[in-house]
Amino acid sequence: MSNQRVVLVTGGMGGLGETISTKMVDAGYKVAVTYSPGNKTHQEWVTQMADKGYDIVAVPCDVADYDSCATAVEDVRATLGAVDVLVNNAGITRDMTFKKMDRVNWDDVMRTNLDSLFNMSKQVADQMVERGWGRIINVSSVNGSKGAFGQTNYSAAKAGVHGFTKALALEVAKKNVTVNTISPGYIGTKMVTAIPKEVLDSKILPQIPVGRLGKPEEVAGLIIYLASEEAAFVTGANIAINGGQHMQ
């Protein structure tokens, strides 16, 4: 049954990741999240979630490191069982103009935002194919579709996410494994709501036809749909969830 399926959300303690994780628990899934090995507050987060009724397993994982990803997925298998749904949500920004960008800030974003898809998906895709069921959901960005000033690294990585999605979707389609991309716009996470109000009001909200930020719950709802039985005919898609900011 789908409500006993195991979900692994990378970056699941972040603003968007936390909402995805808790909403997946609400939907009846068994949920695990990854956290950066240097995160000293992970146990505090797990305890806070448990106090709210969310029993979520947390495993350390550097998504930019292949061996770390292999260990993390093994930890999840040992605790909850085989991963049925992988949500590749972890990501970072290192924004600056191309003129100022150095190799370190290029490489860091590429490794975390793009190489991580290979590192994580490689651990679960073959087993999904063998079992004849699986969902891989890759979180890209509106800026991977339209570009953004000061984000050559981030936009390139997020555009690459969908190229990965389309190719892998073709390879596993006949085995009832779907691979999809979602591309959120400006979502009301702590990172976005920390932007000064005058910048939000004058620069960002006027770009969004619906006139507001997206809600993390709306993104989580889309992911829950893509993880469901009803979404079995959706694969290789890039679903924009950006309030009309960018349409393709």
Catalytic sites, residue numbers: 154
For 98, counting Cβ atoms within 10 Å of its Cβ (0-12 exposed, 13-18 middle, 19+ buried), the class is exposed
Measured CA to CA, the distance from residue 205 to residue 88 in angstroms comes to 27
Whether the Cβ atoms of residue 64 and residue 112 lie closer than 8 Å to each other: yes
Amino acid letter, residue 78: A
Maximum CA extent, the chain: 52
For 154, counting Cβ atoms within 10 Å of its Cβ (0-12 exposed, 13-18 middle, 19+ buried), the class is buried
User: What does the block give as tokens for 55?
Assistant: 């029993």
Query: How many CA atoms lie less than 13 Å away from 242 in the CB half-sphere?
Result: 24
What is the three-state SS of 46-61? Answer: HHHHHHCCCCEEEEEC
Q: What is the DSSP letter of 4?
A: G
Measured CA to CA, the distance from residue 38 to residue 42 in angstroms comes to 9
Q: Which residues pair with 137 in a beta bridge?
A: 87, 180
User: What does the block give as tokens for 148?
Assistant: 């953004």
User: What does the block give as tokens for 21?
Assistant: 């994780």
